[in-house]
Amino acid sequence: MKRQMNRRTLLKASLPIGAGVLVLRDSRLAWGTQANDRLNLAIIGVGGMGAANIGNLASQNLVAMCDVHESRAAKTYAKYPAAKVYADFRQMLDELEQQIDAVAISTPDHTHAVAAADAMRRGKHVYCEKPLTRTVYEARVLRQMAQRHGVVTQMGNQGSASEGLRRAVELARAATVGPVRRAHLWFGGGDGPKERPTDRPPVPPDLNWDLWLGPAPYRPYHPSYCPGRWRGWRDFGSGGMGDMGCHAANVLFRALRLQELWDDRPDDSPPKPTVFQVSGRASEVDTEGYPRWMIVDFDFPARDELPPVKLTLYTGGHHPSEEVLRGDAMTKWGALLDGARGAIFSDCPWNTRFALLPKAEFQGIQGPERTLPRVQSHHGEWIEACKGRGETFSSFEIGGPMTELIQLANVAATVGEPFPYDPQSGRAPNHSAAQQLLHRDYRDGWSL
């Protein structure tokens, strides 16, 4: 199949070497697809969310599947018997590199980055669950790798494909509620301190515990970590903030055009302030788990014609004053853009629905023209883009910065005092405590 190139791909291909885009080392990228126009897919992580993602990708050619826990993967393996089975994604990619076009990753947070990086380094398109990574630094690296290798990427915040989210973004960008200088995001629950268990139950015979740990520091197996309980442990997950942040913050991040703070600046462009302040407080700081509640403030500078804005994130039952809802009752979840003439509000963690507040004043409003593309599905959008038809709405170009923001909230709750962050350099200048928390060391044998 001869690959169709969209405008962005064509422009990248025409740039001279050294212009900031890495020339691909071979022509396998997406050209390994079969004559029937199906992608050759490899799946990393096939239980839980992995099984759901496979269901959305099953129209393609599933070449291989990889999981470290055989019994959790068994039902999916049986459903797709033609796919080759592996426990180690590194072995899978080594052996089948010539046969794979794209990779979908649905593992615990701590292995997202190493798996995605390995795939992109080989020129493979990548779909990766949210949060994109467990650390701020990892998110930055994956974004840069996607740019260098010219691959198609998509982060798994599925609400990105919804009409509700895209329409809310259009309304915000058209200043329907006026300039926005204040925004709020509140989550239904919190986490809590963790105490590492001291008993030593045997490792299940069908679980490769060493591979499950991956880059995380070694610790003995315990069912408190795996399966399915890893998210609240710092070595493996990102707590409630990481779990739902890239869903719930999606509409705010896009509507406020926060990505522009991360965008590369042309050499001849006038300098613009990009450094923002982060300040957090939390119920406690725990080395093993995440706090019962946290409140984190971000003070962002202006983005072109948009004014400076303060965004506050709340977990554990905290939320802004009910006044921001302009007469509506407080909700368990909320993402709200507080404008000069009203508010855009979503009470859905996935941002698939929204309301204009006060409702009486905006009743019947038609709003601006629809400018964002509409798609049938989040996974389908990625598949089509991998084949050179269109682009993804939640590529690592925006998913990376969004993940940096969410993981910075976890950093702020730990630091407990204000610190600056420079999205251009990926550093917390003049604040060593925050800087040290932007990444975590890998176990020997694992790297980006």
DSSP labels, 412-443: HHHH-S-EEEBTTTTB-TT-HHHHHTT--PPP
Q: Are 103 and 42 in contact (CB under 8 A)?
A: yes
pLDDT value of position 253: 98
Same-domain check for residues 260 and 241:
yes
**414 occurs within a structural domain:** yes
**213 occurs within a structural domain:** no
DSSP assignments along 62-73, one per residue? EEEEE-SBHHHH
Q: For residue 116, give the 3-state DSSP assignment.
A: helix
For CA atoms 276, 277, 283, 287, the dihedral sign is positive
Cα 217 to Cα 210: distance, rounded to the nearest angstrom: 10
For the stretch 353-394, pLDDT in tens is: 999 999 999 998 988 999 999 999 999 999 999 999 999 999
Same-domain check for residues 320 and 387:
no
Cα 404 to Cα 438: distance, rounded to the nearest angstrom: 9
**328 occurs within a structural domain:** yes
pLDDT value of position 20: 31
CATH of the domain at 23: 3.40.50.720
**226 occurs within a structural domain:** no
Same-domain check for residues 363 and 424:
yes
Same-domain check for residues 322 and 244:
yes
Same-domain check for residues 60 and 153:
yes
pLDDT value of position 36: 60
Cα 99 to Cα 82: distance, rounded to the nearest angstrom: 14
Cα 228 to Cα 72: distance, rounded to the nearest angstrom: 11
| Structural domain containing residue 293 | 161-192+233-264+272-373+402-436
For residue 212, what are its two tokens?
């499950």
pLDDT value of position 143: 98
DSSP state of 265: P
H-state helical runs in 15-150 = 49-57, 70-79, 89-96, 112-121, 136-149
For residue 312, what are the β-bridge partners?
Answer: 184, 297
For residue 336, what are the β-bridge partners?
Answer: 184, 345
**442 occurs within a structural domain:** no
Query: Residue 189: in which H helix or E strand, if any?
Result: none
For the stretch 239-250, pLDDT in tens is: 999 999 999 999
Same-domain check for residues 356 and 315:
yes
Same-domain check for residues 184 and 286:
yes
CATH of the domain at 428: 3.30.360
Same-domain check for residues 47 and 65:
yes
Same-domain check for residues 85 and 167:
no
Strands 309-314 and 343-346: unpaired
Q: At what angle do helices 70-79 and 49-57 cross, to 10 degrees?
A: 20
For residue 314, what are the β-bridge partners?
Answer: 186, 295
**93 occurs within a structural domain:** yes
Same-domain check for residues 314 and 384:
no
**389 occurs within a structural domain:** yes
Same-domain check for residues 239 and 312:
yes
For the stretch 152-188, pLDDT in tens is: 999 999 999 999 999 999 999 999 999 999 999 999 8
Same-domain check for residues 369 and 388:
no
Q: Are 438 and 135 in contact (CB under 8 A)?
A: yes
What is the phi/psi pair of residue 274, to 5°? -125, -20
Residue with tokens 């979908």: 104
Count: domains in the chain: 2
Query: pLDDT by residue for the chain (448 residues), tens digit each?
Result: 333 333 333 333 333 322 333 223 333 344 444 446 999 999 999 998 999 999 999 999 999 999 999 999 999 999 999 999 999 999 999 999 999 999 999 999 999 999 999 999 999 999 999 999 999 999 999 999 999 999 999 999 999 999 999 999 999 999 999 999 999 999 988 999 999 999 999 999 999 999 999 999 999 999 999 988 999 999 999 999 999 999 999 999 999 999 999 998 777 777 889 999 999 999 999 999 999 999 999 999 999 999 999 999 999 999 999 999 999 999 999 999 999 999 999 999 999 999 999 999 999 898 899 999 999 999 999 999 999 999 999 999 999 999 999 999 999 999 999 999 999 999 999 999 999 999 999 999 999 9
**220 occurs within a structural domain:** no
Report in angstroms the alpha-carbon separations of 300 from 14, 183, 186, 253, 326.
Answer: 35, 11, 18, 11, 24
pLDDT value of position 272: 85
pTM, two decimal places: 0.91
